[in-house]
Amino acid sequence: MNIFDIEIPKSGENFEPLYKKDGVLIERIVSSDKVQSTIYKQPYDEWLVLLEGEALLEIEEKKVTLKKGNTLLIEAFKEHKVLKTKKGTIWLCVHVGVKDDI
């Protein structure tokens, strides 16, 4: 697999699990430039790196801009949402403390 070999969705985001074991989920997310601002408040930590593109997030009412190469830790139960992304944005996300039923 090549992490940069992607298909860009026409709208929204594609979530692709790459690894899941012992409470760890690693996934690749590919974003279009038409994302829904879904509010997340996950019961686990999420560390991410933006591999390509740009994104604007809101974390507990504070706006955060991410560019290629930026990393971010979103702690468990912190309310957050994606406000805007550049077409073809690629994220690598590591979720820690994930229950088996997710």
Question: What pLDDT is stored for residue 100 in this prediction?
Answer: 72
Structural domain for 17, as ranges? 13-96
Question: What pLDDT is stored for residue 101 in this prediction?
Answer: 63
60 dihedral zone (left: phi>0; alpha: psi -120 to 50; beta): left
28 within some domain: yes
Q: At 47, which amino acid appears? A: W
Please write down the long-range contacts of 35-39, taking CB distance under 8 Å and 24 or more positions apart: 35/11, 35/82, 35/83, 35/84, 35/85, 36/12, 37/81, 37/82, 37/83, 38/81, 38/82, 39/79, 39/80, 39/81
Question: What pLDDT is stored for residue 86 in this prediction?
Answer: 98
Question: What pLDDT is stored for residue 102 in this prediction?
Answer: 56
2 within some domain: no
Question: What pLDDT is stored for residue 99 in this prediction?
Answer: 85
Q: How many CB atoms lie within 10 A of CB 95?
A: 21
Q: What is the three-class DSSP state of 23? A: coil
Reading the chain (102 residues) residue by residue, the pLDDT tens digits are 999 999 999 999 999 999 999 999 999 999 999 998 899 999 999 999 999 999 999 999 999 999 999 999 999 999 999 999 999 999 999 999 998 765
53 within some domain: yes
pTM, two decimal places? 0.92
Instruction: Give me the CATH number covering residue 74.
Output: 2.60.120.10
78 within some domain: yes
48 within some domain: yes
3 within some domain: no
Q: How many domains does the chain have?
A: 1
Cα separation, 59 vs 21, in Å, equals: 27
Question: What pLDDT is stored for residue 2 in this prediction?
Answer: 96
35 within some domain: yes
63 within some domain: yes
